[in-house]
Structure 1
C-alpha cells in the first residue's frame, strides 16, 4: 500500500506527551494497536513534514 492508495481501514489517532518526556503518536483500530514514541526534536520534524504536506495538498486541490 502506498501513499496514494485508498483504504477502508478506520482507526483512531491520538497525539500527546508521555510521562517520560516523549511525544506519543498512538494509532488504534481494528487489529491495530500502534504506539510510537518520539523525542521532542523528532516530533517537531514530523510536524514540519505534516505542515509541508498540507501546503502541497492545498496547491493540488
Structure 2
C-alpha cells in the first residue's frame, strides 16, 4: 500500500489537544483506533507538510 493506492475504507479523523499539552490525531476505521500524540512543534511541522501537499495537489490539478 502506498500514497497512490486507493482503498475503499471509511475512516474518521479527530484532531485536538490533550490534557497533557500534546496534539492528538485520532484515527478510527476498519475496526481499529489509532491515537497519535505529538508535541506542539511536531504538530506544526505536520501541518506545514499537509499544506505543502495540498499546494502540490492543486498544482497537479491545474495541469489537467
Which band: TM-score by shorter chain? over 0.9
Normalised to the residue count of structure 2, the TM-score between the two structures is 0.93
Unaligned runs of 5+ in 1: none
1:9 and 2:24 matched: no
Structure 1 segments, 4+ long, off by >2 Å, are: none
- Pick the structure with greater CA Rg: 2
User: For the aligned residues, what is the CA RMSD?
Assistant: 0.5
Shift of 1:30: 2.3
- What is the 5 A alignment of 1:20-39? 20-39=20-39
Secondary structure at the aligned position of 1:2 is classed as coil
Unaligned runs of 5+ in 2: none
Normalised to the residue count of structure 1, the TM-score between the two structures is 0.97
- Partners of 2:4 and 2:32 lie apart in 1 by 20
Aligned residues: 61
